[in-house]
Structure formats: structure tokens, C-alpha cells
Amino acid sequence: MPLSNTQYDEIIREYHATQIRNQHEMEARIKEVYSKDTRLKAIDDAIASCSLFQAKKLLNGDVSALAELREMLDEYKRQHNDILRELGYSQKYLDPTYQCKDCKDTGYIGNERCHCFTQRAIDLVYTQSNIRGILQEENFEHFSYDYYSKTDHNPTTGLSSFDTMQNAVKECRRFIDSFDLSFSNLFFYGDTGVGKTFLSNCVAKELLDTGHSVIYFTAFQLFEIFEKNTFHKTSDEDIIAAHQNIFECDLLIIDDLGTEMLNSFTTSQLFLCLNERILRKKSTIISTNLPLGQVAETYSERIFSRISSHYIILKLFGDDIRIQKKLH
């Protein structure tokens, strides 16, 4: 993810702050268990002493020192765990804690940026911290079928609103489960308030939780980035980075397609965006209130061809959930 030096430094400072918090937490736990049983500190001191003593022996040519050290450490560890268990603690209570176990809160795995660094860069560039707040509420744990009728049927498919949403959720689950194994995209369409954005956010939450980079835009926001990058010849590093990241993130969500100002520029940029992400095998979710036929009429045949060929198309229908919630 392209970043300015200032942005990079800000993220690294966040990692350093996290490492300090982790260290303070570990020190507090150690202090806690030492206060419960002084034998634990004595064992830790003995481990440090014997490690130093055996290291000196090894440097002096004693080839048996390493095996002796391993045997002594195993015994000390057994005693240590026995005492922790007696005190009611898990053996892992004194293990280091990390927000990201993959990079141990350093931001890097070897010389490569960790997935958590990538998402931090996205959050910073797009100022999308508010999205994370939304995802705390709009996720599968809070999803409810109560707002979908079992008697209101789609004349085309014969399925009820309830059955249609059940199928949509199953498709979303398959999309998530196979995300790293096969390339696919989702296209939600239907009337206002039937759950298109909520379902997109459910998918976003699951993928963010498994370390994937996700960018959310309304159609208006997306084309604003394209417009600034194309016409303003901006030197704003945030805009330049945002434009590049649109094509590189693991999942791009384009919400409310059709609410943007439609012209030849937006149509050409939409084709560029969708086509490039298909070529790169980067997944996209699109939601729109437009009927499927109108999508073909409003945009180009090339765009509709890409969507019909490379997207799982799901029509949602039912009563406006926002209105239902107000009535209840």
C-alpha cells in the first residue's frame, strides 16, 4: 500500500505503542503471579543463571552443555507450570499477548509487510475508522431473518423474501470460506432497505477479522477519488495512495451504485476499476437500488458484460427494514 513518509511513521508509532502496552501487560502479570508464590520468581532466576552458566561452558568447548541446558530448562518449565496450575492459572497466562500473532505487533513478517499493516494503511488513507464502528453492529452475529416475509414471493423465482435472503447469506458464506481459494465477486440489487449494505458489511467484517484488506466506498466517494486523481493533477499523497489502493486491496465494496453523477467519465472509470480488478483477481462487492435491466441501460454493455460474467448476482426483495424498525 503506497504511503507518504508521514503516514508510514504514524503507523510505525502505533506499533511501537502497542508493543509497549504488551510489555506493560506482561510485566503486570508476572508481578501478579510472583506475589502469589515466590517460588515462581526463584525458578525464573534459576533459569537465567543456568542459561548463562551453560552458555559459558559451551563457549569453552563443552559440547554436552547444550543438552544439559535443555534438560534443566525442561525441568524448570515443568515446575513452573505445576505451580501456575496450583494457583489456578493457565500455562499460557505468562505467554506474550499480541493484537496480531502473525507479526507479533511489529507490522512485518520477515521483510514483508504484515496483513495488519496493510489494513492500517487502508484505514489511515481512507479515514475509515468509522466503518469499523459500523461493523460492530452490522455483522452476522446481529443479522436477523425476522424482517423477511415467508409469504411474500418473487413471481420470477417463486421464492419468498425469507428464502431469498437465506440463499443470499449462504452465497456470502461460500464467498468468505473460499475467498483465498477461488476468485469471485458479489452483486446485490433490490429496493431500498432490503439489507444489501448490511450484507456487504457482514462479509467485510468476516474478511477483516481474518486479516484481509477491505476498502468500503459509496459510489459517490469512489468516483470522487477518480475525479481528483484524473483532473486535479494533485500532489496530495493521500489521494494518490487511495487511487492505487483501490486496485490492490483484497476486497473493494462499492455501495449504492447509481447514486453518483452519471457521465462518460464515471462510466469509463467504473469499467476501468471493475476490469482491472478482474484481471488482478481482486474481489469486489457492488450493491445498487437499480433494477438489473436499468444497470445495463445506465452503464455500458461492456460493464454489464463484466458483471454478468464475473459476479454472483443476487436480487434481494422485501419491505424496507428501516421502516419496519421504526414501526416496531
Q: How far apart are CA 213 and CA 195, in angstroms?
A: 23
Q: What's domain 127-327's superfamily in CATH?
A: P-loop containing nucleotide triphosphate hydrolases (3.40.50.300)
Residue spans per domain, the chain: 5-109, 127-327
Predicted pLDDT at 109: 94
Which residues are CB-neighbours of 108 under 8 A, at least 6 positions away?
114, 117
Rounded to whole angstroms, what are the CA distances from 94 to 68, 101, 168? 25, 15, 44
pLDDT in tens, the chain (328 residues): 556 677 788 899 999 999 999 999 999 999 999 999 999 889 888 888 877 766 777 677 766 767 777 888 888 888 988 998 999 998 888 888 899 999 999 999 999 989 889 878 777 765 554 576 788 889 999 999 999 999 999 888 899 999 999 999 999 999 999 999 999 999 999 999 999 999 999 999 899 888 788 888 899 989 988 888 777 655 566 666 667 788 988 999 999 999 998 899 999 999 999 999 999 999 999 999 999 989 989 998 899 999 999 999 999 998 878 787 776 6
Say whether pTM exceeds 0.75.
no
Show Cβ contacts of residue 200 under 8 Å, excluding neighbours closer than 6 positions: 186, 188, 216, 253, 255, 285, 287
Dihedral angle computed from the Cα positions of residues 173, 175, 177 and 178, in that order, rounded to the nearest 10 degrees: 160
Indicate the helix (H) or strand (E) that contains 189.
Answer: strand 186-189
**How many CA atoms lie less than 13 Å away from 28 in the CB half-sphere?**
7
Which among 280, 275, 274, 285 is positioned nearest to 206, based on CA atoms?
285
Distance between CA atoms of 98 and 8, rounded to whole angstroms?
21
Structural contact between residues 261 and 291, judged by C-beta atoms closer than 8 angstroms: no
Are 304 and 272 spatial neighbours (Cβ–Cβ below 8 Å)?
Answer: no
